[in-house]
Structure 1
Amino acid sequence: MKISAVKGMKDVLPTAQGEDAPFNSRIWERILNAGREVLSRYGFELIHTPVLEESRLFARAVGEETDIVGKEMYAFEDRGGKVLALRPENTAGAVRAYVEQGLPMRDPVQRWWYFGPMFRRERPQRHRYRQFFQLGVESFGVAAPEEDVEILALARDLIEAVGLVGVELRVNSLGDEACRPGYLEVLRAYLEERRDRLCADCQRRIDRNPLRALDCKEPGCVEATRDAPASHEHLCDPCRQHFDRVLAGAAAMEIPYVLDARLVRGLDYYTRTAFEMTAQALGTGQQTAVCGGGRYDGLVKLLGGPPTPAIGFAMGVERIATLLAEAGGVPAASADLFLAFADPRGLEAAQRLARQARGRGLRTEMDLRGGKVSKQLGRADRRGARFAVVLGELEVQAGRARLKEMATGQETEVALDALVEEVWKRR
C-alpha cells in the first residue's frame, strides 16, 4: 500500500525538480549555510526548542483572537489531560526558554537564531503549507533603538547573502501600552462607521482586536480600511522619539525602507517597531512577504519574567526557496573529487584516498556499486565533480594515476601520494 505525505507537508530532497524545485535540498542548504555565516558575524548563537509546547503558551503570547490560535493551530489533549500544540511560530517558545532558564536576571542580553519547522492548519496553496520552515532570530535585553537598526541591517544582510534581489523593506511603529489604547479607540471608531463593508471576522474584531482588520486580505476589508488612521501618527513622545531614531539610523546605515501605515503584523505581542520584507514573485508579479518581525518588549513579562526588551524576526524558507528557484533554478550537484575504480585493488586504493581527501576537507565521492569505469565517470559528471581519477591494478603498482579535470577533459599524471594535495591546490 502506497503511503503519501500528509496534505500540506512536503519532502525536501536533492532530486526535487519542476514544480517541486523550491523543495530541492540544495537550495535549502544554500539558504542555511549563508544564514549561518552572516548570523555568526553578528554574534547570534543557534538554539533548538521543542516543536511541542503547551497550547496555552501560544494563546497567551500570540493572542486568543488571532487566526493562528483561533483557527490554525494543531492542538490536542495528551493522555495526562494536558493540551499540547505543534508550534505555529517560534518566538513564544524562545521566550518561554529564556524565562524558564532564569536568563532575564542571570544573563539578560542574548542573541539567538533558529532554523526549523512550524505548523499551521491552513488551506494549502502557493507559499502556504501546513508544515513550513523558518529561519529566525531573537535578541533579548537591549531597548535602544539602535538595536532595531542592527536587526534591520541583519535582515538585509541575510536576504542579500541568500541571493535575493529587489526586496523591499516596509516599517511601521505600533506604539506601546501608553499610546496604543488611544490609537485603538480612534481606529475602532473608524471601523465602526464602515462595519457593513467589513467581513464577518473583521466585524467581530472591531471590539476585540481592531488592529487585525488592517491585516485582513479580504478585498472589501482592504478597500474599507484604505484610509484608516495610521498608528505611527498616534504615538506618545517616547515611542515617537524611538521610531525617529530607528528611521534615522536606517538612513545612516543606508537601509532603504518604505513607511507603511497598514503594517501591523499578525501576532499580538508586537510593540513599537514592526517591519516586513517583500519580494516580487516572477510568475505572478505580486509581492510576497519573505521576512517579518519587530519589537515585543512586553512578552517576557507576559510569560512570567521581569520586564525585558526584545526584538526579532523570522524568514519563510519555502518562500525564499521559491524565489531562488524561479530566478536561477536548482544548483547543480558538486564534488571536488570523484574516485573511480577498475578492480578490487583499485577499490582499496580509492577508499584510502577518499579518507585522506575528506580529511583535507575535499568533497569526495565514489560509486561503490562498481561496474564499468565509463559508467562511474558518467556519474562523476552528473555529480558535478571537478576532478576524477581512475584507479586499478596498474595505477596501484606504478604509484601514479591520471587526474582528469572534468570541465576541460585535460589529464595530468600525478603520484598517488600527492594526488589529494594536487586536488586541494587546484580546487
Structure 2
Amino acid sequence: MSEDKKIEKISGIKGMNDILPEQAALWELFENTVQSVLKSYGFQQMRTPIVESTPLFARGLGAVTDIVEKEMYSFEDSMNGDKLTLRPENTAGIVRAALEHNITYDGPKRVWYNGPMFRHEKPQRGRYRQFHQVGAEALGFAGPDIDAELIVMCQRLWDDLGLTNVRLELNSIGDAAERNQHRAELIAYFEQHKDQLDAEAQRRLYSNPLRILDTKNPSMQDLVNNAPKLLDFLGEESKAHFEGVQKILRHNSIPFTINPRLVRGMDYYNRTVFEWVTDELGAQGTVCAGGRYDTLFTMFGGKHTPACGFAMGVERLLELMKLNGDAEVAQSCDVYLVHQGEQAQMQSFVLGERLRDAGLDVVLHCASATGIGSFKSQMKKADASGAAFAVIIGEDEAAAETVTVKSMRSEDFANNQTSVPFDTAVDYLVDQIVGADHDESQCDNPNHIHLHH
C-alpha cells in the first residue's frame, strides 16, 4: 500500500448503536434491577438465538403485518439455502423453543429474556434498527390472574427504577370469533367513509383493519373514535376474563385506563392487551406492551397452551430514567492504586489482588503510550475514576512496607491521608469502605438508586 493512500474508516451501521463504557453503568443498573424483580416472581431466564427460521415470524406475526412485510432483516444462508431472519421480536422464538424442548410437559412455566431485536425502519429517538427488549412470558396459564400478575410486576419494576411518569392502558381484543364479527363491522364502517381514509388505512382496510384504529393521523381521529368498538362484541367468557384482570388491579391499587383503540400488530394476541405509556418521549411513548396469546402454540403445531407476556423497550426506559433524574449511577471503583518504581508496582499488584479477594473494586494504574506517568498525573486519573480512596505506593512506601491511603471524596481532601502498614491495608480499607456504605444506606431514600455493592 502506498504511503499517501488514506485508509478509509469503517463506521457502525445506521440505527445500530454502540454502548460505551460511560453508558454501560446505567444499562447494568437496569438489567440488575429487572433480574431481581423477575426472580422475585419466580421467572427463570431463557436465551434463544437471535437468528430464527423466517417462516417462524411469517406464521406467528402474520404475513400482512408491517414487521413481516417491510421491517425484517431476512436473508438466505449461502451454505445451505435456509431462509433466515434476525429476530424482530422474541415471543415467537420463546414459543418455538418451548415446543421444541417440551418445557411445559410438567406444568406451566414463567420465563424471561433479555437481548437485541432487529427491525429495518427509519432510525429516530427511541426507535432503532438494533434495539433491546426485556420480556416475560407466562406459558400454560389460562386465568386472568397471570395477566394481572404481569402488570403488577411491571409496576414493581417502575417503582424500583424510580419511574413515576408511566401509566397503564388496558383493553380486551376478545377471541377469534368475536374479532371476526367486529372485523366485518369495521370493514363495513370504513367502506362507508373510504374517502376519509389515508393511503395507509386504505392499504390495511381488508388485510388488517384493526390496525387502522391505531392511526396517528390527526384528520382521522374523529372517524376512528366513532368506529365500532371491539369491547361491544365480547362474549361472556371474554368479558369475565377482562373483568377478572381489572378486579385484581383495582384490589392492588394499580391505576389504569381502558383504551378501546388499543390493539396489537401481531396476529397471535387475544383477550387482554396492555401498554405502559409515557408523554415524555415524543412519538415513541410506549415503553412496555403485552397481552395474552392463547393460540400461538397451536399455530406452531403444538397442543393448546394458553399464555401471556410482555416486552419492554430497554432504550426507551433508559431514556426515561435519564429524564426522570432519580437514577444516580456511580461509575466508580473503591480503590485506585497509584505507584512509582518497580518494587512499588510489584506490591501494587499483590495489594490489588488482596483487595479484590476482600470484595472491593480496584483499578491499578497501568502505563499508557506515554509511560507510567508522574504521581500528579496518576492522582488525576484516580480522581477521574470516581474511586473512594487512592492507595499510593512509592519508593519510600515500598522500602518501609507501608502504603499511603488518601480519601478522594473527603471535604478536607488536601490533608485527609494516612500511612498504613502494607499487611493491614486491606482490613483498613474494608473498614473504611464497608462502614461508609453502611452509614449511607441508613439515610438512603428508599426510591433512590445507586449502582454499588
TM-score, normalised with respect to structure 1: 0.92
Q: How many residues align?
A: 416
Work out the CA distance in 2 between the residues paired with 1:358 and 1:336: 10
Identify which of 330, 334, 337 aligns with 1:336.
Answer: 334
Work out the CA distance in 2 between the residues paired with 1:304 and 1:68: 22
Work out the CA distance in 2 between the residues paired with 1:416 and 1:231: 74
Work out the CA distance in 1 between the residues paired with 2:295 and 2:432: 55
Q: Is the 8 A contact 1:171 1:273 kept in 2?
A: yes
Identify which of 332, 344, 362 aligns with 1:364.
Answer: 362
Identify which of 298, 320, 326 aligns with 2:317.
Answer: 320
Identify which of 15, 25, 46 aligns with 1:8.
Answer: 15
Work out the CA distance in 2 between the residues paired with 1:64 and 1:220: 28
Deviation, structure 1 residue 330: 8.0
User: Residue type matched to 2:401 in 1?
Assistant: G
Deviation, structure 1 residue 272: 0.8
Aligned-partner SS, 1:339: strand
Match of 2:85 in 1: 85
Identify which of 291, 294, 319 aligns with 1:294.
Answer: 291
Matched, 1:111 2:110: yes
Work out the CA distance in 1 between the residues paired with 2:13 and 2:232: 46
Q: Is the 8 A contact 1:118 1:134 kept in 2?
A: yes
Match of 1:31 in 2: 30
What does residue range 25-424 of structure 1 map to in structure 2 within 5 Å?
Answer: 25-79=24-78, 80-104=80-104, 106-281=105-280, 288-328=285-325, 331-369=329-367, 370-408=372-410, 409=413, 410-424=416-430
| Pair 58,345 (structure 1): closer, same or farther in 2 beyond 3 Å | same
CA shift digits 1:313-332 (9 cap, x unpaired): 11111111222233339845
Q: Is the 8 A contact 2:126 2:284 kept in 1?
A: no
Deviation, structure 1 residue 230: 2.4
| Pair 48,287 (structure 1): closer, same or farther in 2 beyond 3 Å | closer
| Pair 194,360 (structure 1): closer, same or farther in 2 beyond 3 Å | farther
User: Residue type matched to 1:382 in 2?
Assistant: A
Deviation, structure 1 residue 311: 1.0
Work out the CA distance in 2 between the residues paired with 1:240 and 1:85: 37
Work out the CA distance in 1 between the residues paired with 2:168 and 2:209: 24
| Pair 426,232 (structure 1): closer, same or farther in 2 beyond 3 Å | farther
User: Residue type matched to 2:295 in 1?
Assistant: G
CA shift digits 1:87-140 (9 cap, x unpaired): 100110011000011223x23422211111111110111211111111111111
User: Residue type matched to 1:53 in 2?
Assistant: E
Task: Out of 161-170 and 382-391, give the one that drifted further.
Answer: 161-170
User: Residue type matched to 1:308 in 2?
Assistant: T
CA shift digits 1:51-88 (9 cap, x unpaired): 11111100110111110101111111222222111110
User: Residue type matched to 2:429 in 1?
Assistant: V
Work out the CA distance in 2 between the residues paired with 1:256 and 1:397: 67
Work out the CA distance in 1 between the residues paired with 2:183 and 2:423: 74
Work out the CA distance in 2 between the residues paired with 1:402 and 1:147: 57
Deviation, structure 1 residue 267: 1.6
Please, what is the CA RMSD of the aligned residues? 1.8
Work out the CA distance in 2 between the residues paired with 1:191 and 1:411: 77
Q: Is the 8 A contact 1:26 1:330 kept in 2?
A: no
Aligned-partner SS, 2:97: helix
Match of 2:432 in 1: 426
Work out the CA distance in 2 between the residues paired with 1:220 and 1:359: 65
Percent identity of the aligned residues?
43
| Pair 167,53 (structure 1): closer, same or farther in 2 beyond 3 Å | same
Work out the CA distance in 2 between the residues paired with 1:301 and 1:240: 23
CA shift digits 1:184-225 (9 cap, x unpaired): 222222222222211233223222221111123333344421
CA shift digits 1:231-264 (9 cap, x unpaired): 2232111111111010010111121111111110
User: Residue type matched to 2:162 in 1?
Assistant: G
Work out the CA distance in 1 between the residues paired with 2:188 and 2:424: 79
Work out the CA distance in 2 between the residues paired with 1:265 and 1:337: 50
Aligned-partner SS, 1:225: helix
Work out the CA distance in 1 between the residues paired with 2:408 and 2:99: 55
CA shift digits 1:125-181 (9 cap, x unpaired): 121111111111111111121111110011112222233221111111111124222
Long gaps (5+) in structure 2: 1-7, 434-453
Aligned-partner SS, 1:273: strand
Q: Is the 8 A contact 1:333 1:382 kept in 2?
A: no
Work out the CA distance in 1 between the residues paired with 2:431 and 2:271: 52
- Determine which structure has more spread, i.e. the larger CA radius of gyration: 2
| Pair 392,259 (structure 1): closer, same or farther in 2 beyond 3 Å | same
Q: Is the 8 A contact 1:215 1:266 kept in 2?
A: no
Aligned-partner SS, 2:205: helix
User: Residue type matched to 2:431 in 1?
Assistant: K
Work out the CA distance in 2 between the residues paired with 1:359 and 1:263: 53
Task: Out of 215-224 and 250-259, give the one that drifted further.
Answer: 215-224
User: Residue type matched to 2:294 in 1?
Assistant: D
Match of 1:20 in 2: none
Work out the CA distance in 2 between the residues paired with 1:81 and 1:116: 27
Task: Out of 60-69 and 181-190, give the one that drifted further.
Answer: 181-190
Q: Is the 8 A contact 2:172 2:270 kept in 1?
A: yes
Aligned-partner SS, 2:176: coil
